Amino acid sequence: MPAKPIQSPLTDDQLRVTGDALQQTVVDLIDLSLIAKQAHWNVVGSHFRSVHLGLDEVVAAAREFTDAAAERATAIGVSPDGRAATVVKESSAAGVEDGWQPDTQVIASMVDNLWAVITRLRGHIEATETADPVTQDLLIAIAARLEQLHWMWQAQQA
Ligand SMILES: [Fe+2]
């Protein structure tokens, strides 16, 4: 196998910036999907049903965009790393506690976790502006959906 089996349309500098942005997005989204599933199973309280179902919307978005970001990485010649150990090391998400979680706590936790991922994502959008506008376009689409979900979780706190 050649050292670089996939030819990149980017220069080395562009590739470094863009590859880092995509790799970090992949691990954040994997973590977000695991966090939302953990909460989906463990939420209790009077708002159980709406929170339980809302969490699966986060899972679906996170999984779909994980694949999109990872496959954008492959398209520019970067090998994505979605291994559990890498997610633990590199994720910027806030995480979730173990055990049963009251619905109000789950809502607050989802607001925090989405915000943490969105904050780093917005940094990547800035960084890829000139490095690779095609990747930036994908990151903008991911941010738009995550910010929509962030609004919906905040609205439940009001
Ligand atoms: Fe379920």
73 CA distance to ligand 1 middle (Å): 30
Averaged pLDDT, 41-45 = 98
Coil, strand, or helix at residue 126? helix
Q: What is the spatial distance between Cα 28 and Cα 23, in angstroms, rounded to a whole number?
A: 9
150 CA distance to ligand 1 middle (Å): 20
Count of beta carbons in the 10 Å neighbourhood of residue 4: 10
Model confidence at 4, in pLDDT bands (50, 70, 90)?
confident
157 CA distance to ligand 1 middle (Å): 23
Q: Tell me what pLDDT residue 68 has.
A: 98
55 CA distance to ligand 1 middle (Å): 9
Could you report the per-residue pLDDT of 79-105, keeping only the tens digit for each?
999 999 999 999 999 999 999 999 999
Q: Tell me what pLDDT residue 2 has.
A: 83
121 CA distance to ligand 1 middle (Å): 27
| pTM attached to this predicted model | 0.96
Q: Which residues pair with 44 in a beta bridge?
A: 102
